Amino acid sequence: MLAAALLLALPFCTAESVSSYAGSTVVDSYPPPGATNTAVDTYFPDASQVGYAGPTPTGAEPAAIVTAIPFSKVENAFPLSRPNSADGADMAFNVMRHWGNLAPMYSVDSFGLPEASPVIPEGCGINAVHLLMRHGARYPTSDSGASHFASKLHAAASQEGFCATGDLEFLATWTYKLGAEILTPYGRDSLFSNGVAFRYRYGNLLNAFTDLPVFRTTSEDRMLDSALNFAAGFFEIRTYETDYHQEIIIEENNFNNTLAPYYACPNANTEDIGNFGSTQAKKWADIYLKDARKRLQPMIPGFNLTISRLVDMQELCAYETVALGYSKFCDLFTQEEWEGYEYYVDLNFWYSSGPGNPATAAQGLGYVQELVSRLTHTPINVWNSSTNSTLDSSNITFPLNQPIYVDATHDTVISSIVTALNFSSLASTGPLPTDHIPRHRSYIASQIAPFASQLVAQVLSCPASDEPTHIRFLLNDGVVPLTGIHGCTEDSNGLCVLSSFISGMHERIGEINFAHDCFANYTMPNPDNIIDGRYPS
**Lowest model confidence (mean pLDDT) among 13-17, 170-174, 432-436, 512-516:** 13-17
Domain ranges of the chain: 110-139+183-271+357-529, 148-180+275-356
pLDDT in tens, 257-312: 999 999 999 999 999 999 999 999 999 999 999 999 999 999 999 999 999 999 99
Poorest-pLDDT segment among 57-66, 200-209, 497-506, 509-518: 57-66
| Burial letters 370-385, b for 16+ CB under 10 A, else e | bbbbbbeeeebeeeeb
- If you classify domain 110-139+183-271+357-529 with CATH, what class do you get? alpha beta
DSSP for 164-207, written as a single string: --GGGGGGGT--B---SSSBPHHHHHHHHHHHHHHHHHHGGGGG
CA gap 103, 334 in Å, rounded = 17
Q: Are 92 and 123 in contact (CB under 8 A)?
A: no
Residue 71: pLDDT band (50, 70, 90) is low
- Distance, in Å, from the CA atom of 537 to the CA atom of 368, rounded to the nearest integer, reads 21
Q: Which of 92, 94, 86, 80 is nearest to 331 (CA)?
A: 86
Write phi, then psi, for 382 (nearest 5 degrees).
Answer: -125, 125
**Spatial separation of the C-alpha atoms in residues 124 and 74, rounded to whole Å:** 28
pLDDT at position 81 is 85
How long is the chain? 537
Tens of pLDDT, residues 97-120: 999 999 999 999 989 999 999 999
CA-nearest of 291, 241, 332 to 46 is 241
